[in-house]
Amino acid sequence: MMFPYIPLAGSFAQLAKNAEKKKPLISVTKEAVKNPPLKIYMLGQETLRTPANRIVKVDDSIRKLAKDMLVTMYSAKGIGLAAPQVGVQKRILVIDLNFEDPDAPPNVFINPEIISSSASLDTYEEGCLSIPGVYLNVLRPSSIKLSYRDEMGRPKKMNAEGLMARCIQHEIDHLNGILFVDKVVDQDELIKQLKENKFNENDVRKETK
């Protein structure tokens, strides 16, 4: 997921050495790299529409994937990334709302499932690393409760609200082949922005609920 108006801080490296004491399982420097390990697929490519498979075992290969996804996400100045966006049909997503704090560990969600959603809804302007340049309002539940496994494979539960709830819902949609442009109400603005950014409006799929 990508939001406008959030500049990426340039001083991660200086502060990163302070984080060396703690040795998290997935250690990533929050810096953009010239050659990110993974390629991000764009609207119109089939991988974004293919539902992802559950992860059976959380092992080193999954942790390596999470790390590569994080490096790719930081390099693209995003705050969230789901595996189908990098051509991997696995139910894993990474989020970092504290990308300016080198000590704050990013979130890794494996097999995330929304247990319940609030009745109250919020509107928020979303963007997506797979649809660069397009920013539009989407209505979603304000808060959610979810279950998932962390990078150790431990079962976890979380109550999320605000930007975290928004981001998790956007990324879980990716795992199901759904994109935020499918949920936009303002069709005129959607078509205008897609055209401006050279995307094909036929690649949007209307939600049928």
Active site residues per annotation: 171
**128: contact with Co ion by CB under 5 A:** yes
Virtual torsion, Cα 181, 187, 190, 194, nearest 10 deg: 100
CA distance 59 to 153: 8
Cβ at position 57, least distance to Co ion in Å: 26
Q: Is the Cβ of residue 1 or residue 58 nearer to Co ion in the bound state?
A: 1
Residue 86 CB contacts under 8 Å (≥ 6 apart), including other chains: 38, 39, 40, 41, 68, 69, 72
Span from 5-13, 34-42, 64-72, 123-131 in contact with Co ion (CB under 5 A): 123-131
Contact 65, 134 (CB under 8 A): no
Q: Is the Cβ of residue 128 or residue 160 nearer to Co ion in the bound state?
A: 128
Determine the 3-state secondary structure of 193 from DSSP. Answer: helix
Cβ at position 152, least distance to Co ion in Å: 26
User: Under rule CB under 5 A, how many of the chain's residues touch Co ion?
Assistant: 2
Cβ at position 140, least distance to Co ion in Å: 13
Whole-number Cα distances in Å, 34 to 27, 37, 97: 19, 10, 22
Q: Is the Cβ of residue 19 or residue 107 nearer to Co ion in the bound state?
A: 107
Span from 8-16, 43-51, 99-107, 124-132 in contact with Co ion (CB under 5 A): 124-132
Instruction: Give the binding site for Co ion (CB under 5 A).
Output: 1, 128
